[in-house]
Amino acid sequence: MTKQFEKIIKQYEDLSQKLSFTTDSQELKRLGKKQAGLSMAYEQIMDLKKLEKQAEENQKYLKDKDPDVRQLAEEEDTSLKTKIGDLKLKIEEALLPKDPLNEKDAIVEIRAAAGGDESSLFAGELFRMYSKYAETNKWKTSLNSQSRNEIGGFKEVIFSIKGKNVYGDMKFESGVHRVQRVPETEKTGRVHTSTVTVAVLPKIEEADFKIEPKDLKIETSTSQGAGGQSVNTTYSAIKITHLPSGITAQSQDERSQIQNRAKAMEVIVARVFNYYEEKKQKELKEQRLSQIGTGDRSEKIRTYNFPQDRITDHRINQNWNQTNEILNGKLWPIIDALKAKEKKQLKNI
């Protein structure tokens, strides 16, 4: 048993004692959350103590005069050593630093970039991929805003995903996604390269990150369709500007002004929070440890090569085939590989 593991046991048991004597509701909530964060590691460490005790008791049988007893003891020794080794690895993983934002819901922003119509069509395919992936994880998606072009592609689409540990998975999707394929309209068979940007922001509750009302400018207008024409006569569309940063968010897809305002606020809070987080990191010259790569929208993170049926994630230099299946929502092999890389990086800190 390492000193670190003994320290976890003491911390957990001290918290249990404090919880039994505390009557303040806020303090109970704080201590309970802290204890919950240690509970998995604590239970695993207690299981480890039992296995180590069994291994210690088994040692005396390794020198038994009876060869059959010695053989059984050797088999038991091998089995216990394997179990102890596996459990230690699990405990070390449970004790790795965790980004509290991983548990948050997410707001995903997809925008067509270089490549014209082909880029907007691929933006739609990424939107579908994330929607299918969310469905597989039993997450709930809701559209915040969208801007389509004449051929049915997306110039921009912003949507929310709610569920368990959404941001912890989706954060890896931030960056530039490059697609290489022959567009349906290309008569010569020439491969085109287009790009789409994806930004994934943790959804922040207003109670956790307060924006002063005086810092917001809220404007209403009639909703606009493709080409800019008004599609209704009521002033239900909402545009919110955060005056100190100049960041804006808007929503017009809901029928009522109240619903559009709620959706626009959801986006503005996430964007402003992210803005100040990035500013703080820049000032400290620190890169967030919980994300592979910078997550900057200008960073090319992945290439989807259709002629060669190959998807490459450039952050880990790893390839996958079955492009169409992945775009149909089977994204977990890529997400799992990125998570594994993240864990390896955290272990080396």
Q: What is the CATH number of the domain that holds 125?
A: 3.30.70.1660
Q: For residue 229, is pLDDT > 60?
A: no
Residue 92's identity, in one-letter code, is E
Same domain, 116 and 199: yes
Q: At a CB cut-off of 8 Å and minimum separation 6, what does 7 contact? A: none
CA 63 to chain centre: 52
Final residue before a domain boundary, out of 253, 284, 315: 284
Same domain, 308 and 260: no
Q: How far apart are CA 342 and CA 340, in angstroms?
A: 5
Same domain, 143 and 47: no
What is the tens place of the pLDDT at every residue in 270-298? 888 888 777 766 655 443 334 444 434 45
Q: For residue 243, is pLDDT > 90?
A: no
Instruction: Find the mean pLDDT for residues 36-41.
Output: 84
Note down the domain range covering 157: 102-206+292-347
111 within 8 A of 200, measured Cβ to Cβ: no
Same domain, 126 and 186: yes
Work out the number of other CB atoms within 10 angstroms of the CB of residue 174: 21
Final residue before a domain boundary, out of 70, 94, 118: 94
Same domain, 315 and 202: yes
What is the tens place of the pLDDT at every residue in 49-61? 999 999 999 998 8
User: Model's pTM, two decimal places?
Assistant: 0.65
Q: Tokens 């970039």 appear where?
A: 113
Q: Specify the 3-state DSSP secondary structure of 344.
A: helix
Same domain, 112 and 190: yes
Residue 260 tokens read as 């559009």
Q: For residue 230, is pLDDT > 60?
A: no
Same domain, 66 and 185: no
What is the tens place of the pLDDT at every residue in 143-158? 888 888 888 788 888 8
Same domain, 193 and 108: yes
Same domain, 118 and 73: no
CATH number of the domain that 245 lies in?
3.30.160.20
Q: How far apart are CA 131 and CA 140, in angstroms?
A: 9
Strand order in the sheet with 237-242: 216-221, 237-242, 247-251
